[in-house]
Amino acid sequence: MSVPGSAQLEQILLSSSDLSKASLATRITVGRLRSEVAGDPSSLASKVAELTEFATQNDFAANDLANI
């Protein structure tokens, strides 16, 4: 499973959409990263990198994020 690109992950972190079909692990991780970006918008690039790493290391997360 390929990991979505940075632009798509950026959109995921900047939106407030529910990822109801995603695994609990992905929902909690994205939720945390979203709140961190909201609190410090300049951290967006580093949070996208963190989400990329999470999806790279976990196929289920890559699948979750690719199907949003």
Partner 1 sequence: MKNELLTVAEASARITAGDVMTVAGDTALLSQLPAGNWIGGSSVYFVTESGGAVIRDKVFCTTFEGTAGATVRTVSSDNLKSIAEGYKAGGFTVMLIPAFSGTHTKFAVDAPAMGSLFAQPLVGWISGVHLDELGSAKPTVYDGSTATAVEDGAVCLHIQLPAGSKVNTDIVNIFNQGHDAKTTFTFQEQGFSVTTAVVNGMEVNFAEYLTENNIDTRLPLVANYAGALVNVSVQAVDTDNGTVAFYAPVTPGVEYQLASPISDYAGTFASNLGDTGVGQYSCNCILNYLYGELEGKSTGTFTGPVTFGEIAYILLNQTLVKLDVQAA
Q: Interface with partner 1 by CB under 8 A: which residues?
A: 17-20, 22-32, 34-36, 38-40, 50, 53-54, 57-58, 61
**With respect to partner 1, which residue has the nearer C-beta, 6 or 57?**
57
Give CA–CA dist 39/42, Å, rounded.
9
> Which is closer to partner 1, CB of 7 or CB of 65?
65
Query: 45 and 3 in contact (C-beta within 8 Å)?
Result: no
2 vs 16, beta carbon nearer partner 1 = 16
User: How many whole angstroms separate alpha carbon 21 and alpha carbon 47?
Assistant: 22
